[in-house]
Amino acid sequence: MQRPMNCRTGTRYMQRPMNCALMLLVSLPILLAFAVPSARTAKAQTAPTIAASTFDTDDEGWTVIGDAQGGSPVPDYIASGGNPGGYISATDDNQGPTWYWSAPPKFLGNVSGAYKQTLTFDLKQSAVDSQLNFPDVILSGAGLSLGFDTSHNPGVEWTAYTIALDEAVSGWVNLRTNASASREEMIVVLASLSDLRIRGEYRAGRDTGGLDNVVLSGGHLLSGGHLLPRVYLPLIAR
């Protein structure tokens, strides 16, 4: 029986380095075949985070748009009572249009990696009578605005939301035409997102709303409407 090749220093095969080089070339594809799927599986388990606000120390640059806070864009920062920790709050002035939370710059720009991923957040309101119906999430960019209407309004306790950033999910509409959002519209808006709003007012009358734990999840960026491929390099033990 032929003995296995030994390429350690001092062996007879190391005196013929070409043999060892050939053995490495033959075995490397086999190693890659096992290493790459493992890396792909690990990557697929959890989508990376594009941006997040947990309001542990301040309002993180979030502002208020519309009829709240006496016309000031600055929300109230509450250091405790969030889900958990701190959160931001705003009070309706009951004098004008519905008010929204507006995201800071870290959630904006080219966030096309969020396509078919999720936007998650927690909301609460001070009362649940006399409820209003308006778009709950608004994404704007490239001259387009897409709105999403959730299936339920928040309660007086923290209510968690997970919004799929996918036109195939019922609820996304072009706010100008009121038609269902298309794949092209969703991609274009996410690739040049200039405004992300989450509704804060749900009641016809004076109320207070709270926001916590906003997370925009996503993967690799889009180019020309196509996902850019990821390259996985196996770890080689020394």
The domain that holds 213 is classified in CATH as 2.60.120.430
Asked if residue 166 is part of any domain, the answer here is yes
The residue ranges of the chain whose pLDDT is under 50 are: 1-5, 9, 11-15, 17-18, 20-45, 223-238
Domain extent for 34: 13-45
If asked whether residues 31 and 55 sit together in one domain, one would say: no
C-alpha distances (whole Å) from 108 to each of 99, 139, 189 are 20, 10, 10
Residue 155 lies in a domain: yes
pLDDT given at position 6: 54
Per-residue model confidence (pLDDT) at position 180 = 97
DSSP-assigned beta bridge partners for residue 217 = 49
Q: What is the pLDDT of residues 120-152, one digit of tens each?
A: 999 999 999 989 899 999 999 999 999 999 999
d(Cα 193, Cα 111) in Å, to the nearest integer? 7
Residues 118 and 151 in one domain: yes
Predicted local distance difference test score (pLDDT) of residue 222:
53
Assess whether 31 and 54 both reside in one domain: no
Beta partners for residue 159, in sequence order: 123
Residue 235 counted as domain residue: no
In a domain, 1, yes or no: no
Residue 149 lies in a domain: yes
Are residue 40 and residue 66 in the same domain, yes or no? Answer: no
Residue 238 covered by a domain: no
| pTM as predicted | 0.74
| Domain match, 92 and 192 both | yes
Total domains in the fold of the chain: 2
- Whether 129 maps to a domain, the answer reads yes
